[in-house]
């Protein structure tokens, strides 16, 4: 055991001496969270809009106020004729225009039916749809308000409810995604590089000649990166809770244990990579192509797996990150317990065992 600790200590020296890598390792999750959290979101905040109000009655005024008060919209200008709408878009500042026709209030209050037009800049379809959804929600909300005072509420309400994520926050899906990605990268890539480095330096030979058992060597190499990864998990979770307002609804303990399991899975993958190559560059390339890309593409946090062709959907099943992503989403966002994720957990566990067996075997045959 003492020999093992001597080894682990040495690994920490390596990590500590290589400040640049350490900085990148600890910095990646923070920058990722910040980039994803503030730049790459589906949310649209403070979208500039224009209002063309032909009605100028109290209903239209009330609605405009409601829209203006919302954090998603910011009324940039008021238009006076339909001809001004297109030039306003062409200026490029506004994302949406709302047009109230004449007699809006009387149509609504007497005819029980009024029309309202949303014109959006669909050069960016995602933003356009999101804005229309937000505006619709505000109008529906207003409708509910006035129906309360009406004796005969004729209007049929269509209710859309966004379960678990009513505000359609992007952070809800990418926090689990970033966690999967970061763990994969720190654990698998760094472990494989650390082992391959010893092969390159020639120190692996000396270690193998020493009485330290190969399994212990591998473990000692992996322990520091496991610790670093868990620190990363915690920093991601802290950032998401306190900066991005993403809740942890389920058990924190369960979430951390599942993360530890996934860390071990990544580690096993890293070992496999290190046994397939002898140079750090190749290990890096392998990790990138073999781990980073599949993780981003097939875990489901960037591209919905349901929309993929069947063969790709099948392939996605062998990507460990997909299962971890689903587990984290279930625990963190939906607040589910082990009863709902035992299947995914078992799959991860099985993958880990298979990967470990294969890589230890590979490591040993290299010696014979």
Partner 1 sequence: MKNEPVIVVEKLTKQFGNFIAVDGISFEVNKGEIFGFLGANGAGKTTAMRMLCGLSIPTSGKAKVAGFDIYQQTENIKKNIGYMSQKFSLYEDLTVKENINFYAGIYGLNENQIKDKINYLVHHLHLQHQQNTLVKALPLGWKQKLAFSVAIVHDPAIVFLDEPTGGVDPVTRREFWEMIYDASEKGITIFVTTHYMDEAEYCNRVSIMVDGRIEALDSPKKLKQNFECVSMDEVFLKLARKATRSE
Residues 180, 182, 183, 184: what is their CA dihedral angle, to the nearest 10 degrees?
A: 80
Q: In what order do the strands lie in the sheet with 117-120?
A: 73-79, 47-53, 96-100, 117-120
DSSP 298-366: HSSSSS-GGGS-HHHHHHHTT-HHHHHHHHHIIIIIS---HHHHHHHHHHHHHHHHHHHHHHHHHHHHH
- Measured distance CA(263)–CA(261) in Å, rounded: 5
Q: Select from 2-10, 119-127, 269-277, 336-344 the region that touches partner 1 (CB under 8 A).
A: 2-10
x-marked contacts with partner 1 along 188-207 as a string, rule CB under 8 A: -------------xxx-xxx
Tokens of 320: 């460990």
Query: Is the torsion defined by CA of 185, 186, 191, 194 positive or negative?
Result: positive
Buried b (16+ CB within 10 A) or exposed e, 77-99: eebeeeeebeebbeeeebbbbbb
Determine, following the binding rule CB under 8 A, whether residue 209 of this chain makes contact with partner 1.
Answer: yes
Q: How far apart are the first and last CA of the chain?
A: 25
Nearer to partner 1, 10 or 48 (CB): 10
Task: Count residues binding partner 1 (CB under 8 A).
Answer: 24
Nearer to partner 1, 31 or 210 (CB): 210
Determine, following the binding rule CB under 8 A, whether residue 6 of this chain makes contact with partner 1.
Answer: yes
Q: Which residue carries 């959804």 as its tokens? A: 133
Q: Smallest gap, in angstroms, from Cβ of residue 22 to partner 1?
A: 12
Q: Smallest gap, in angstroms, from Cβ of residue 224 to partner 1?
A: 14
Q: Where are the beta strands (DSSP E) in the chain?
A: 47-53, 73-79, 96-100, 117-120
Question: Which residues make Cβ contacts (< 8 Å) with residue 246, sequence separation at least 6?
Answer: 169, 171, 172, 175, 240, 332, 333
x-marked contacts with partner 1 along 329-368 as a string, rule CB under 8 A: --------------------------------------xx
Determine, following the binding rule CB under 8 A, whether residue 162 of this chain makes contact with partner 1.
Answer: no
x-marked contacts with partner 1 along 279-298 as a string, rule CB under 8 A: --------------------
Nearer to partner 1, 13 or 288 (CB): 13
Q: Smallest gap, in angstroms, from Cβ of residue 10 to partner 1?
A: 5
Nearer to partner 1, 7 or 286 (CB): 7
Determine, following the binding rule CB under 8 A, whether residue 13 of this chain makes contact with partner 1.
Answer: yes
Give Cα 108 distance to the centre of its chain: 42
Nearer to partner 1, 225 or 298 (CB): 225
Buried b (16+ CB within 10 A) or exposed e, 39-60: eebeebeebbbbbbbbbebebb
Among 78, 123, 126, 210, binds partner 1 (CB under 8 A): 210
Q: Smallest gap, in angstroms, from Cβ of residue 24 to partner 1?
A: 16
Q: Smallest gap, in angstroms, from Cβ of residue 240 to partner 1?
A: 34
Is residue 248 within 8 Å of residue 237, measured between CB atoms?
Answer: yes
Determine, following the binding rule CB under 8 A, whether residue 2 of this chain makes contact with partner 1.
Answer: yes
Tokens of 125: 């379809």
Among 139, 208, 256, 302, binds partner 1 (CB under 8 A): 208
Q: Which residue carries 């966690």 as its tokens? A: 179
Nearer to partner 1, 22 or 315 (CB): 22
Rule CB under 8 A: which of 212-231 touch partner 1? 212
Determine, following the binding rule CB under 8 A, whether residue 18 of this chain makes contact with partner 1.
Answer: yes
Q: Smallest gap, in angstroms, from Cβ of residue 270 to partner 1?
A: 20
Determine, following the binding rule CB under 8 A, whether residue 19 of this chain makes contact with partner 1.
Answer: no
Residues near partner 1 (CB under 8 A) are: 2-3, 5-7, 9-10, 13-14, 17-18, 201-203, 205-212, 367-368
């Amino acid at each position: 055991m003492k020999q093992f600790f001597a080894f682990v200590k040495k690994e920490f020296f390596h990590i500590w001496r290589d400040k640049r890598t350490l900085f990148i390792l600890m910095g990646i999750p923070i920058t990722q969270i910040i980039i994803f959290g503030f730049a790459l979101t589906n949310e649209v905040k403070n979208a500039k809009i224009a209002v063309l109000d032909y009605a100028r009655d109290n209903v239209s005024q009330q609605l405009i106020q409601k829209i203006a008060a919302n954090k998603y919209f910011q009324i940039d200008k008021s238009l006076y004729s339909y001809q001004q709408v297109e030039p306003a878009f062409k200026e490029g500042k506004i994302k949406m225009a709302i047009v109230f026709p004449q007699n809006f209030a009387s149509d609504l209050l007497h005819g029980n039916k009024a029309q309202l037009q949303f014109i959006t800049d669909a050069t960016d379809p995602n933003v356009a749809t999101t804005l229309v959804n937000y505006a619709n929600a505000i109008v529906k909300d207003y409708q509910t308000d006035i129906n309360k005072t009406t004796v005969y509420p004729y209007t049929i309400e269509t209710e859309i409810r966004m379960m678990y994520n009513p505000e359609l926050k992007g952070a809800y899906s990418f926090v689990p995604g970033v966690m999967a990605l970061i763990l994969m990268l720190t654990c698998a890539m760094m472990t494989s590089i650390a082992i391959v480095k010893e092969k390159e330096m020639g120190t692996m030979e000396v270690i193998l000649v020493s009485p330290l058992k190969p399994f212990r060597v591998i473990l000692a190499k992996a322990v520091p990166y496991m610790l670093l990864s868990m620190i990363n998990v915690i920093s991601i979770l802290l950032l998401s809770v306190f900066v991005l307002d993403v809740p942890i609804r389920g058990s924190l303990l369960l979430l951390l244990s599942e993360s530890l399991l996934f860390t071990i899975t990544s580690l096993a993958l890293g070992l496999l990579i290190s046994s397939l190559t002898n140079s750090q560059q190749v290990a890096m390339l392998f990790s990138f192509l073999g781990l980073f890309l599949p993780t981003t593409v097939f875990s489901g946090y960037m591209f919905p797996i349901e929309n993929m062709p069947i063969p790709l959907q099948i392939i996605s099943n062998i990507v460990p990150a997909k299962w971890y992503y689903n587990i984290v989403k279930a625990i963190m966002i939906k607040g589910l317990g082990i009863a709902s994720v035992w299947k995914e957990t078992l799959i991860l566990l099985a993958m880990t065992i298979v990967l470990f067996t294969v890589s230890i075997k590979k490591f040993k045959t290299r010696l014979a």
